[in-house]
Amino acid sequence: MKTKLILFLIILSSLCWQCNNPKPSEKKALENKPKVTEKKLKTVGYVAGYRDFDFSKIQAEKLTHINYAFANIIDGKVCFGGKTASNEADLKEDDIKSLHDLKKINPDLKILVSVGGWTWSTHFSDVALTNSSRKIFAKSAVDFLIEYKLDGIDLDWEYPNQTGAGNPHRPEDKENFTLLLKEVRKHLDKQSEKDGRPNEDKYLLTIATGGDQAYVNNTNLGDAQKYLDFINIMTYDAYNGLHTTTGHHANLFPANGDPAVKAKGEEVKSALTSVQGHIDAGVPVEKINLGLAFYGRLWKGVNNSNNGLFQAAETVGMIEYYRILAEQFIDKNGFTRYWDESARAPYLWNPDSRIFISYEETNSIKYKIEYLKEKGLGGVMFWEYTDDYDSQLLDAIYENLD
Q: What are the catalytic residues?
A: 158
286 vs 266: CA distance, rounded Å: 29
> Is residue 126 within 8 Å of residue 91, measured between CB atoms?
no
82 vs 8: CA distance, rounded Å: 84
**What are the φ/ψ torsions at residue 392 (nearest 5 degrees)?**
-60, -50
DSSP single-letter state for residue 51: S
| 3-state SS track over 53-70 | CCHHHCCHHHCCEEEEEE
342 vs 261: CA distance, rounded Å: 12
Helix (H, G, I), strand (E, B) or coil at 198: coil
Of 101, 220, 115, whose CA–CA distance to 171 is shortest?
Answer: 220
> Is residue 51 within 8 Å of residue 388, measured between CB atoms?
no
Amino acid letter for position 26: E
357 vs 345: CA distance, rounded Å: 11
What residues have CB less than 8 Å from 145, skipping those under 6 apart?
Answer: 113, 152, 153, 188, 191, 203
Amino acid letter for position 52: D
Torsion angle of C-alpha atoms 384, 386, 387, 390, degrees rounded to 10: 130
Of 58, 42, 37, 39, whose CA–CA distance to 397 is shortest?
Answer: 42
Torsion angle of C-alpha atoms 238, 244, 248, 249, degrees rounded to 10: 40
Torsion angle of C-alpha atoms 162, 51, 48, 137, degrees rounded to 10: 70
326 vs 322: CA distance, rounded Å: 6
Residues in the chain, total:
402
What residues have CB less than 8 Å from 237, skipping those under 6 apart?
Answer: 211, 249, 250, 293, 297
Of 87, 95, 112, whose CA–CA distance to 49 is shortest?
Answer: 95
